[in-house]
C-alpha cells in the first residue's frame, strides 16, 4: 500500500510549521507492508490542487491511503477532522498573495465530504497512550480544509482512503506561554499512531467523541 503523508510550510505570521518537521522526521519511519510517500506542500491554492491531482493519478492504479497534516495554532491537542466543506473563506492570503472569500473549492461539488480515516479508533489510540487529542467537527475554511476536501473529491471514485489531522503549536516553537502547546515528541508519536491505525483498520469503531458545541 502506498501511504501519502503531507505537511505544510510556514504561512502568515508563523515562522515555522511543525508539520514540515513531521515530514522530515517520518523519512526514516518504516512500516511493514507500506510505502510512505512524503510531501511538503506550499501554502498556496495552486499547491493543494496540484497535490490533489497527483493523488488522483496514483489512485487510478494503486491502493492508496492519504493522511494530511496541518497546523492549527490555539488547539489544545491533536485534532482529527471529521468533515471538509466546499468553501474557501480566507482570513489571510495564501503564500502567493491569493485571498479567496466565500468561494467554492469545487464548483458544483458536494457541500461536504466526511473523512475516510478511522477517526474514532485514532482518537482512542491517542487517549490510550496519554496523548491529548479529539475529533474535530470543523477544519476551518483555509487551505487545510481545502486540501481535505480536494483529496476526498479527487479520489472519490477509487478505493482510496484519506483524511486530515490538525496539530497544535509545539513547545519548541511557541513564544507566547499563554497559548496551548504540545511537545514535538508527542506530536510525532501521535502522527505515527494515526498512520499505523489507519493502515491496520480500514473501518472505524462506534465510540463516543461528539461535541455539544
Angle at 203 between CA 18 and CA 132, to 5 degrees: 35
Catalytic residue among 166, 171, 201, 205: 166
CA distance 144 to 157: 22
Catalytic residue among 81, 87, 153, 205: 81
The answer to whether 81 is a known catalytic residue is: yes
Catalytic residue among 4, 58, 144, 153: 144
CA distance 151 to 52: 5
Angle at 125 between CA 176 and CA 85, to 5 degrees: 65
CA distance 201 to 66: 14
3-state SS of 90-102 is CCCCCCCCCCCCC
The answer to whether 166 is a known catalytic residue is: yes
Instruction: Give the total residue count for the chain.
Output: 213
Q: Which residues are catalytic?
A: 81, 144, 166
Amino acid at each position: 500500500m502506498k501511504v501519502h503523508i503531507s505537511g505544510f510550510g510556514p504561512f502568515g505570521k508563523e515562522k515555522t510549521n511543525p508539520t514540515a518537521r513531521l515530514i522530515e522526521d517520518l523519512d526514516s519511519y518504516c512500516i511493514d507492508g507500506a510505502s510512505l510517500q512524503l510531501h511538503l506542500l506550499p501554502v498556496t491554492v495552486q499547491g493543494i490542487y496540484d497535490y490533489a491531482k497527483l493523488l488522483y493519478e496514483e489512485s487510478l492504479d494503486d491502493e492508496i491511503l492519504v493522511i494530511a497534516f496541518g497546523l492549527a495554532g490555539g488547539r489544545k491537542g491533536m485534532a482529527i477532522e471529521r468533515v471538509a466543506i466546499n468553501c474557501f473563506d480566507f482570513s489571510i492570503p495564501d503564500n502567493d498573495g491569493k485571498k479567496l472569500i466565500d468561494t467554492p473549492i469545487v464548483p458544483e461539488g458536494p457541500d461536504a465530504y466526511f473523512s475516510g480515516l478511522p477517526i474514532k479508533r485514532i482518537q482512542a489510540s491517542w487517549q490510550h497512550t496519554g496523548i491529548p487529542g479529539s475529533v474535530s467537527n470543523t477544519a476551518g475554511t483555509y487551505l487545510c480544509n481545502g486540501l481535505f476536501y480536494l483529496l476526498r473529491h479527487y479520489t472519490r471514485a477509487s478505493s482510496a482512503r484519506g483524511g486530515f489531522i490538525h496539530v497544535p503549536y509545539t513547545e519548541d516553537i511557541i513564544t507566547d506561554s499563554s497559548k496551548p502547546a504540545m511537545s514535538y515528541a508527542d506530536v510525532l508519536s501521535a502522527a505515527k499512531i494515526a498512520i499505523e491505525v489507519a493502515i491496520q483498520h480500514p473501518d472505524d469503531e462506534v465510540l463516543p467523541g461528539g461535541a455539544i458545541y
